[in-house]
Amino acid sequence: MTGQAIAMTATADRPAEDSAARLGNLFDAHHQRLHRLARRLSRSAEDARDLVQETFLRAARHAASVPEGAGHEEAWLVRVMINVARDRWRQMAVRRRGATEIANAAAETSDAESAMLARSIIWQALQRLPPRRRAILVLYELEGAAIPAIARLLGVTSVTVRWHLSVGRRELAAAVEGQFGKTQG
């Protein structure tokens, strides 16, 4: 009986060590890239750090779900990160509060600070977008990723990516033009 228990413990330890080593490698390989994306998906550096941490915690809890291969790993992590961001986005009801924040930012800034205002408005408008659309805009506009690559990364079709890009750009343009119109009018 004792011999059997020892044998079972020994077989269970090896996968645990493998899993820890694999997660360590996963973190080392992807944390910088993931943080860059998180920073562009978050309102603050602190939120970005939390987003990265939560993503890797989910990876640790569901290590068996992480696919093999650098490309697949990255895609899995990005999708998890967008899901985490979506959960937070829903909880914080950014969509409802964003309009007020943009209005306040526009009212409090003078015409001389229009460049800063534009940056503030575009970024706050970006925060109002659903996380997947925001991620697509960030990946395409800021990271320069191609549409098929974004589609592969997010597990959607190229048509979906183009649609999100189109709608996202329209929403951002409307937010910026609307707020500039208000401050100038």
Residue ranges that bind another protein, judged by CB under 8 A: 5, 8-9, 11-13, 15-16, 19-20, 23-24, 27, 31-32, 35-36, 39-40, 45, 49, 52-53, 56-57, 59-61, 63, 115, 118-120, 122-123, 126, 137-138, 141-142, 169, 172-173, 176-177
Please report how close the Cβ of residue 118 comes to another protein at its closest, in angstroms: 6
Q: Which amino acid is at 180?
A: F
Spatial distance between the Cα atoms of 169 and 26, rounded to a whole number of angstroms: 33
Residue whose structure tokens are 């506009």:
141
Spatial distance between the Cα atoms of 120 and 145, rounded to a whole number of angstroms: 24
- Would you say 78 or 126 has its CB closer to another protein? 126
- Would you say 153 or 165 has its CB closer to another protein? 165
Residue whose structure tokens are 């603050």:
44
- Would you say 63 or 156 has its CB closer to another protein? 63
First to last CA, the chain: 85
